[in-house]
Amino acid sequence: MLYIASDHAGFQLKNYITNFLKNQTSSVFKDLGPKVFKEDDDYPDFAFALTKEVAKNKIHKGILICGSGHGMCIAANKTKGIRAIEGYNIQGTEMGRRHNDANVLCLAGRILSNEHAAAIARIFLETEFAKDHRFMRRNKKIADYEK
């Protein structure tokens, strides 16, 4: 399952990405909000709602969107089992999935164009973790630290 959420600064891009997902991918996803634009909402509320769901199952993934991507990424990485990355470009996002087994993508609603963000989301969803020994070893060190 893929989960998606934003704050007010990512609301428009979230709507674009959800339409993109409906029309361009076979991804099954759930929109965790907000359902309506509310200028005074707080990104941690949406980040924690999404990461709680993603952390329940190793195959779940999430996409979070705020103004810069930074706030959502910081908040998301507070949840045990979450490996959130900021998706500013395709190559970095691909490496985050392939090398780090990232399970949450954070996008910048005030910086990225709709089309660029959709391309980044697509690569995040299509790229598999490489399962190379060194990548697995590094991810285990992170998981062990969370205990």
* Residue positions annotated with a catalytic role: 66, 99
State residue 105 phi and psi, 5-degree precision.
-105, 130
- CA neighbor of 76 nearest in space, from 41, 37, 110, 102: 102
CA-nearest of 74, 64, 67, 124 to 100 is 124
